[in-house]
Structure 1
Amino acid sequence: MAQGNRGAAFENLINFTNKSYEHRELAVINKRSTPVKVTRSKGTKVLAGFFEAKSTVDYDGIYRGRAIFFEAKSIQELDRFDLKKVEDHQYEHLDKCHKFGALCFILVEFRKQRKTYLLPFTTLRAYKNEAARGGRKSMTLDNMEIDAYEVSSGRSMPLDYLATVDRVWFEDTQKNA
């Protein structure tokens, strides 16, 4: 699979879930596209272009009156999440949004293990700070089991991540608010 499409199936699953959330009037979550400068086109068809700038994060929206920002990462073969997969501009955007009260996190899919985790920004920040001090540069599945939240299906959706958001931010307000 091409590097750019590694997480396409995961993103399609999230997009389907987001449409279901909006249809049920639970949330409005949008997929953000990377800005592209078109250099050649024919009618409405783009023939050539390049990325103008780095995008911020994959998704943004509103849920229960709060802004929500998150990045989706799919891990194909490994049993660890390399922290460098969250690029600096993505981390900085999540950090800024978190400071203004947004719900910020990473959805991490371990494809081989068929598990998905919600990693709150505050936990990501702690791991990145530790890595900057010479600590581990990745999170193992065991780390995810302890420090992140497994996302499961529910409400007739294959990936009901907002149920996990409820558990993290609206039931356990001490930990990540």
Structure 2
Amino acid sequence: MTDSRKNAEGYADPTPYLAERNIETERRQQGRRSKYAGERFENMISAACDYYRGENIADIEKTPEPMRPLKPYGDRRRGQYIAVFVKKAQNDYKGILNGGRCIAFEAKHTDAEKIESSAVTERQADLLENYEKMGASCFVLVSFKFEQFFRIPWSVWRDMKEIYGNKHLKRSEISEYEIGLNYLGVLEFLKKTKGGNANA
């Protein structure tokens, strides 16, 4: 077996080893940044859900991931367990609007200039499609770098290739679906979009 710290001639050369280690470190850091951004966006949405519940506009909650604990991990008093997912992913948020209409949506954050269609998994897409066929209000809530936010109707997300010619969306293409923050700093994802599209 060759030593990854030596070059092809066998001389000491840590460059490939260091490069590989740097790539792995960068991957871990990117994963942490993505997790933090996702949690921050979810916190914004949860605050909006609390606001809408308090105003009797809607009752929407984050869908918990179905997990089965396998065994305790660390300090049992803190409720930490090693667990596995027992079902395929569900939609991020589900609930009901005042008046009885169901609502289901995905929340996606990106630090890029475009968001890919594949950000919504096949399973999530199937669920949104089924909910919409049954009359639910379905959409994808997107954050671009926490600078702009968009509520994209499920039918537009699903058909983006036919509508925009690509399997991704750029901010400039979807300005009619932009939403903002109210005077309290609450993400107004149930208000009419700039293009005049109502949520329900």
* Length-normalised TM-score, structure 1: 0.82
What is the alpha-carbon root mean square deviation over aligned residues?
Answer: 2.2
Deviations 1:109-153 (A, max 9, x none): 0016x000000011012115679xxx52211112222xx511111
Q: Which has the larger radius of gyration?
A: 2
Q: Which residue of the partner structure matches residue 138 of structure 2?
A: 104
Following the alignment from structure 1 to structure 2, what is the Cα–Cα distance between the partners of residues 4 and 156?
Answer: 26
Kept in 1, the 8 Å contact 2:156–2:163? The answer is: no
Following the alignment from structure 2 to structure 1, what is the Cα–Cα distance between the partners of residues 163 and 174?
Answer: 16
Following the alignment from structure 1 to structure 2, what is the Cα–Cα distance between the partners of residues 128 and 58?
Answer: 23
Of 149, 158, 161 in structure 1, the residue corresponding to residue 186 of structure 2 is 158
Of 33, 40, 54 in structure 2, the residue corresponding to residue 9 of structure 1 is 40
Kept in 1, the 8 Å contact 2:92–2:105? The answer is: yes
- Report whether the alignment pairs 1:74 with 2:109: yes
Q: Which residue of the partner structure matches residue 68 of structure 2?
A: 37
Of 68, 81, 86 in structure 1, the residue corresponding to residue 120 of structure 2 is 86
Following the alignment from structure 2 to structure 1, what is the Cα–Cα distance between the partners of residues 142 and 180?
Answer: 12
- Of 99-108 and 46-55, the range deviating more from structure 2: 46-55
Q: Which residue of the partner structure matches residue 49 of structure 1?
A: 83
After TM superposition, where is structure 1 displaced by more than 3 Å over at least 4 residues in a row?
Answer: 3-6, 128-131
Kept in 1, the 8 Å contact 2:191–2:198? The answer is: no
Kept in 1, the 8 Å contact 2:59–2:97? The answer is: yes
The higher relative CO (CA closer than 8 Å, separation ≥ 6) is in 1
Q: Which residue of the partner structure matches residue 168 of structure 1?
A: 197
Amino acid at match of 1:98: E
Q: Which residue of the partner structure matches residue 173 of structure 1?
A: none
Please give the secondary structure, in 2, of the residue aligned with 1:164: coil
Q: Report the identity percentage.
A: 27
Count of aligned pairs between the two proteins: 163
Deviations 1:15-63 (A, max 9, x none): 0111111112111001101111100123561321111122211100011
The structure where strand makes up a greater share of residues is 1
Amino acid at match of 2:181: S
Deviations 1:82-119 (A, max 9, x none): 1100100000000000000100000000016x000000
Amino acid at match of 1:75: T
